Homo-oligomer: A and B are copies of this chain.
Amino acid sequence: MCGMPKVKRGDNLGKLILRAAAVQGLEFERGDVAVVTQSIVSKAEGRAVDLRRVRPSDLAKQLAGQLGKDPREVEVILHELKEIVRLRHVLIARTLHGFVCANAGVDHSNVEKNHVTTLPADPDASAERIRRSIKRASGVDVAVIVSDSHGRPFRVGAVGVAVGVAGMRPLLDLRGKRDLYGKKLTSKVIAVADALAAAGVAAMGEASEGTPVAVIKGATYERGKGRARELVRSRERDLFG
């Protein structure tokens, strides 16, 4: 979906999304999924940090050298992380929400010069606010996913993942269902919200065209309440860890 303006602190994203949709003749229908990229959610919520106001600690300065990063950006990252998972030329961290990603979700793309965005404090609540705002203004029940792009172990390239959801269950549990040959599935839980986030982010395509929202029609998912944190595997249960 194109036609979104640059987002500022305090903007009502639901309204902006509806307006951009109307301009291009896109009508929301019940069950549509709006995938909204983290950067505009963070900016609307005042989570863009002006690096000129950040005083880096000694630790931030030390890590910045190793990472080839601005010490002030590293200082912001240190505030966003709960745990450092890997530290080489890239810093992989567990965020305060529990997500494991590069730089604890701190990003300097698609934000003004000298600024970085941090992830929304409660991305499920962010998604719910957008959902309600769309519902209030249009009467239509949609699901909303706040997406971020994450790199992955073992595979090249980033994919969109869900860091916030509203109006949907993020997981589809097929355990106990039977396969084509009547055998019970024993281990099949599908991360639907991540799959839709991946599709949405791929559809957004090139960042420079300013398409921070994708609308997916005809998706298969379970409506209801859910939290993106259901997608976070606890350290204890991480098979790969």
A contacts, CB < 8 Å to B:
6, 85-86, 88-90, 92, 99-100, 102, 108-113, 149, 151-161, 170-172, 174, 177-181, 183, 185, 188-192, 194-196, 198-199, 201-203, 205-208, 210, 216, 219-221, 230-233, 238-241
Contact = CB atoms under 8 A, between A and B. Distances in A.
Give the copy number.
2
Contacts of A160: 195
Contact of A199 (B99, B154, B198, B240): B198
A205 B183 contact: no
A86 to B, nearest CB: 6
B198 A100 contact: no
Contact of A156 (B177, B179, B206, B230): B230
A232 B154 CA distance: 6
A156 B189 contact: yes
Interface core residue of A86, A102, A208 (most chain B CB under 10 Å): A208
B183 A113 contact: yes
Contacts of A181: 110-113
Interface core residue of A100, A171, A207 (most chain B CB under 10 Å): A207
B220 A174 contact: no
Nearest to A199: B199
Contacts of A177: 206-208
Contacts of A153: 100, 152-154, 233, 238-241
Contact of A154 (B100, B111, B207, B208): B100
Contacts of A201: 190, 195
A6 B180 contact: yes
Contact of A157 (B158, B179, B189): B189
Nearest 7 interchain pairs by C-beta:
A157-B191, A199-B199, A153-B240, A195-B202, A195-B198, A100-B154, A198-B198
A189 to B, nearest CB: 5
